Amino acid sequence: MPTQRQADPSAGTGSRIDARTQRSRATVLAAATDLLESTGVGGFSVDEVARRSGVAKTTIYRHWPTREALVLDACAGLDDRYDLPDTGTLHGDLRTFVADLVRMVEQAGWAAVLPSIVDAAERNAAFADMHAQIQKGHASLVSQIAERAIGRGELPAETDTALLASTVLGPVFYRRWFSREPFDAAFIDAVTTRAIRGAQGSD
């Protein structure tokens, strides 16, 4: 899921976990993320992660006590670091963001997994929490673009950024996961223009 690039907080802190354990964890997580991309949350099994990674199930369960804990960590591995555009105009920023988002929902591994997370979130609090985090990340990208535009006087100070996020992310997500119609530049332009027009006009 697109989140902003951040420094890795664990880097260079002299972790006490020994190197071999760390390598085995990384191998398991990489296999788990690959598996998740092909099966979604529903088809994910620790047996298959063990088979793919060559790491014994007992070892896997030492690090992740439950299937759910491993799925949740594997979801974090789907992260798609993203540099927010800064073109100097609301239209430029939003057009670039929508085009980048379209490319990601069409191509990124997490795009095939997200519906299974949304489904799991309907019934499971841990997945609901994780989905809320992913979602906050998406919405905050739109909010940051909006706040810069407010600073430049391109949007009114009282702009409802949550509503703006609904009108930007909603049509893109709808087309990817619901209508499954192809994306094109005209769609990207129209979503951008209509979201801006909506936020600038009074309802």
**Interface residue list for its own copies (CB under 8 A):** 39-43, 112, 115-116, 118-119, 121-123, 128, 131-132, 135, 138-139, 160, 162-163, 165-167, 169-175, 177-181, 186-187, 189-191, 193-194, 197-198, 201, 203
- Whether residue 130 contacts residue 75, with contact meaning beta carbons closer than 8 Å, is answered with yes
Nearer to its own copies, 49 or 191 (CB): 191
**Cβ of residue 108: shortest distance to its own copies, in angstroms?**
13
* Sequence-distant (≥ 6) Cβ neighbours of residue 187 within 8 angstroms: 102, 171, 175
Nearer to its own copies, 29 or 117 (CB): 117
Query: Which of 196, 55, 189, 76 has its CA nearest to residue 126?
Result: 76
**Cβ of residue 186: shortest distance to its own copies, in angstroms?**
8
Structure tokens at 161: 């950024």
Nearer to its own copies, 83 or 122 (CB): 122
Report d(CA 37, CA 115) in Å as an integer.
Answer: 11
Structure tokens at 139: 């919405």
**Cβ of residue 83: shortest distance to its own copies, in angstroms?**
23
- Residue length of the chain: 203
**Cβ of residue 89: shortest distance to its own copies, in angstroms?**
17
Query: Which of 21, 16, 3, 8 has its CA nearest to residue 75?
Result: 3
Nearer to its own copies, 70 or 169 (CB): 169
